[in-house]
């Protein structure tokens, strides 16, 4: 009997391994890393967007004749945890590609990991320019319009205000620092006499709104450029409104027109601010209407910008795999250079010179209607028109 037991155990193990390998061979796995617990307001809708894309892909027969699966891990908004999660997805789950990340410093950590492991990585959300420029590598592509691109969209509106004294407030990490540096550079070029009279850079998620508001008010600026988002933004808006910081002053604010950050403010939304965002209920293009109808039917909810990002990230990967007819990293890199993808915001292209997509953003003002904040007087700006010239990109991008 012992003899048969010794024979059966290795046989069972071999059968299990064989079954696992066969199942994997019939599935394309997308490994996804994100800060779900730390930033649920954005990443809850983002996950729904991914799910909608996955449903549509699999309903259409999958990719390369295989079913597609997304395997997600939470990175706890921590670069080290993100790298460990990515490693586990590669070694244990045997994923074919990587995507995701939200915070800029976390995205940079996975960008470096992708280069070390030579695995294709589509950074869906992080906005830092370094992902495609200074720290860019051939394995990493990025979907959302970068910090530079979105600031460049806002600067013409800021210059039209003809305000001389500007105060700046931003979260003190890569994204905030990058946004403010770009704003200073581009506004100074457009308006040489501009002065930056105050800077407040609280730690991410730990803004002392009363102290920040007072410091900004003490500088007596003509206008304010804000980069805070999420709960930090809500605190600034409430404290600034209470203390009269925004009364009679123009505010230009990055991301503040996104429903994720506008909706929680309800009727406290700061009317008149010039913002980038996503006016989902007013976009009448055919591609957005199709997405909106499908999203509402599946989730009985309206989409946020995160929904667009999650959906478009998975659809981008699917388009790349179809064109490459493979999940091979090198083949994916080749086809992603110049890859055209249809998204709910219209067609985009992944640039060969820096692996950045040309996805744009809506720019408009905030108003309060029916007790909630909405974007008004908005227009969609094509991301392809808000990039540095190729020679400058080549200089910025150290890696080939």
Looking at the predicted structure, is the pLDDT value of residue 43 above 70?
yes
- Nearest-CA neighbor of 110 among 95, 131, 127? 131
- Nearest-CA neighbor of 99 among 85, 66, 360? 85
- Per-residue model confidence (pLDDT) at position 23: 45
> Comparing 17 with 394, which gets the higher pLDDT?
394
Residue 41's pLDDT band, with cuts at 50, 70 and 90, is confident
Tell me the percentage of the chain whose pLDDT exceeds 70.
Answer: 93
CATH numbers and ranges of domains, the chain: 29-146+284-360 (3.40.50.2300), 148-280+362-385 (3.40.50.2300)
Looking at the predicted structure, is the pLDDT value of residue 294 above 70?
yes
Looking at the predicted structure, is the pLDDT value of residue 1 above 90?
no
Residue 398's pLDDT band, with cuts at 50, 70 and 90, is low
> Each residue of 121-160: pLDDT tens digit?
999 999 999 999 999 999 999 999 999 999 999 999 999 9
Looking at the predicted structure, is the pLDDT value of residue 257 above 60?
yes
- Per-residue model confidence (pLDDT) at position 396: 85
Looking at the predicted structure, is the pLDDT value of residue 13 above 70?
no
- Per-residue model confidence (pLDDT) at position 156: 98
55 within 8 A of 298, measured Cβ to Cβ: yes
Residue 318's pLDDT band, with cuts at 50, 70 and 90, is very high
Residue 317's pLDDT band, with cuts at 50, 70 and 90, is very high
Looking at the predicted structure, is the pLDDT value of residue 2 above 80?
no
> Comparing 256 with 26, which gets the higher pLDDT?
256
> Which range is least confidently modeled, 5-14, 326-335, 344-353?
5-14
96 within 8 A of 30, measured Cβ to Cβ: yes
- Per-residue model confidence (pLDDT) at position 19: 43
> Each residue of 50-66: pLDDT tens digit?
999 999 999 999 999 99
**Average pLDDT score over residue span 74-82:** 97
**Average pLDDT score over residue span 220-224:** 97
**Average pLDDT score over residue span 160-169:** 98
**Average pLDDT score over residue span 195-217:** 96
Average pLDDT, the chain: 93
Residue 377's pLDDT band, with cuts at 50, 70 and 90, is very high
Cα distance between residue 146 and residue 383, in whole Å: 9
Tell me the percentage of the chain whose pLDDT exceeds 90.
Answer: 88
């Amino acid at each position: 009997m012992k003899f048969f037991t010794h024979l059966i155990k290795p046989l069972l193990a071999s059968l299990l391994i064989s079954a696992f390998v066969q199942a994997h061979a019939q599935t394309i796995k997308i490994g996804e890393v994100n800060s779900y617990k730390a930033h649920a307001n954005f990443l809850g809708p983002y996950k729904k967007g991914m799910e909608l894309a996955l449903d549509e892909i699999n309903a259409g027969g999958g990719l390369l004749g295989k079913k597609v699966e997304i395997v997600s891990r939470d990175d706890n908004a921590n670069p080290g945890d993100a790298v460990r999660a990515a490693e586990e997805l590669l070694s244990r789950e045997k994923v074919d590609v990587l995507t995701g990340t939200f915070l800029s410093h976390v995205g940079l950590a996975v960008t470096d990991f992708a280069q070390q492991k030579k695995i294709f990585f589509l950074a869906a959300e992080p906005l830092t320019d370094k992902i495609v420029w200074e720290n860019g590598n051939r394995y990493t592509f990025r979907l959302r319009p970068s910090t530079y691109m979105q600031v460049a969209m806002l600067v013409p509106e800021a210059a039209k205000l003809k305000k001389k004294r500007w105060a700046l407030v931003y979260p003190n990490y890569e994204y905030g620092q990058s946004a403010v540096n770009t704003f200073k550079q581009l506004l100074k070029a457009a308006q040489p006499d501009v002065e930056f009279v105050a800077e407040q850079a609280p730690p991410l998620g730990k803004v002392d709104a009363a102290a920040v508001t007072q410091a900004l008010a003490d500088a007596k600026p003509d206008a304010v450029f804000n980069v805070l988002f999420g709960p930090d933004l809500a605190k600034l808006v409430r404290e600034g409104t209470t203390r009269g910081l925004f009364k009679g002053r123009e505010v230009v604010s990055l991301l503040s027109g996104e429903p994720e950050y506008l909706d929680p403010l309800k009727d406290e939304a700061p009317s008149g601010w010039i913002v980038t965002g996503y006016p989902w209920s007013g976009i009448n293009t055919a591609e957005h209407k199709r997405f909106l109808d499908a999203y509402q039917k599946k989730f009985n909810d309206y989409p946020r910008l995160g929904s667009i990002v999650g959906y478009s990230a998975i659809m981008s990967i699917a388009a790349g795999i179809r064109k490459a007819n493979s999940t091979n990293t090198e083949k994916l890199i080749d086809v992603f250079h110049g890859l055209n993808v249809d998204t709910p915001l219209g067609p985009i292209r992944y640039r060969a010179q820096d692996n950045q997509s040309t996805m744009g953003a809506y720019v408009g003002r905030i108003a309060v209607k029916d007790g909630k904040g909405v974007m008004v007087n908005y227009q969609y700006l094509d991301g392809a028109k808000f990039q540095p010239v190729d020679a400058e990109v080549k200089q910025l991008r150290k890696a080939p």
